[in-house]
Amino acid sequence: MSSWTAKRFWKQAVAEPCDGGFTVTLDGRAVKTPAKRALVVPTLAMAEVIAAEWDAQSGRVKPETMPATRAANSAIDNVAIQFDAVAADLARYGETDLLCYRATGPQELIDRQSDAWDPLLEWSAAALRAPLIATAGVMHIRQPETSVAKLAAQVRAFTPFQLAAVHDLIAISGSLILALAVTRGRLSLDQCWALSRIDETWQNELWGVDEDAAALESLKLQALAEAARFFALCG
């Protein structure tokens, strides 16, 4: 059966062990991904969260309210199938990392970025052995090949389930370094979000908050939180 059934037909969703990990059953029938692959996840905790999402459905199934289910589906149907391509795409963020491109003015913003981002670049150099070069402006600069290679190796070391979460951590923050810092416990989710939004915060302080932009930012923060939670569920 497809996991995106139009309406709820089951009475109970249960997380349980299976060959290769854990799965979720609906009245005893195993859930499958949209591509009709077996939904087998690496941890019981993840399966329990997914089961809770299914149990919370009423009437029409709403995938938008099931972030862990969607992330698991993505890991199985997309990331695992084309792992090398996904890892390569994400690793390229190390060549153009947000933390490396700084404002040219005013001085207060320059200082704010430096105070916030320099410690993360120092951490990358020390903990990841991947020093990166920062520059003023948006003109592309070439990063050290050894650093790019070490960051790429970090990305390839993730499992498909972890990489599904890391994808959103990187894409939303705009920074491979920030994402890796979250996965290693160097940053909390709130710290990652604040560090990734220094420019936006500066603009808001200058010109005020735009309601539409604020609504979009709220959705991005929610998605970032869901990605961090899914990574933690990978065990």
53 and 125 in a single domain? The answer is no
| Residues 6 or more apart in contact with residue 177 via CB below 8 angstroms | 94, 97, 99, 120, 121, 123, 124, 132
57 and 90 in a single domain? The answer is no
Interval 157-192: pLDDT, tens = 999 999 999 999 999 999 999 999 999 999 999 999
Sheet holding 13-18, edge to edge: 13-18, 21-26, 29-30
Is residue 4 assigned to a domain? Answer: no
Interval 35-83: pLDDT, tens = 999 999 999 999 999 999 999 999 899 999 999 999 999 999 999 999 9
More confident residue, 88 or 7: 88
187 and 222 in a single domain? The answer is yes
Task: Determine the residue type at 78.
Answer: N
Dig out the tokens for 214 from the structure: 């604020």
Dig out the tokens for 82 from the structure: 């084309």
134 and 180 in a single domain? The answer is yes
Is residue 74 assigned to a domain? Answer: no
In whole angstroms, give the CA distance from residue 131 to residue 129.
6
pLDDT reported for residue 177:
98
Is residue 71 assigned to a domain? Answer: no
41 and 100 in a single domain? The answer is no
- The domain containing residue 28 runs over which residues? 13-61
How many C-alpha atoms does 45 have within 13 Å on its Cβ side? 7
pLDDT at 2 over 50: no
Interval 203-217: pLDDT, tens = 999 999 999 999 999
Query: How many domains are contained in the chain?
Result: 2
Cβ–Cβ under 8 Å, residues 173 and 98: yes
Is residue 214 assigned to a domain? Answer: yes
Going by pLDDT thresholds of 50, 70 and 90, the confidence category of residue 1 is very low
pLDDT at 150 over 80: yes
Cα–chain center distance at 176 = 10
Mean pLDDT over the full length of the chain? 96
Query: Region 91-112: what's the mean pLDDT?
Result: 97
pLDDT at 12 over 50: yes
* CATH number reported for the structural domain that contains residue 35 in this entry: 3.30.2180.10
In whole angstroms, give the CA distance from residue 7 to residue 25.
16
103 and 29 in a single domain? The answer is no
pLDDT reported for residue 202:
96
Is residue 7 assigned to a domain? Answer: no
Give exposure, 159-185, as e/b (b: 16+ Cβ within 10 Å). bbbbbbbbbbbbbbbbbbbbbbbbbee
CA distances from 150 to 59, 115, 128, 146 (A): 48, 25, 7, 6
User: pTM of this prediction?
Assistant: 0.94
Is residue 184 assigned to a domain? Answer: yes
42 and 119 in a single domain? The answer is no
* CATH number reported for the structural domain that contains residue 169 in this entry: 1.10.3580.10
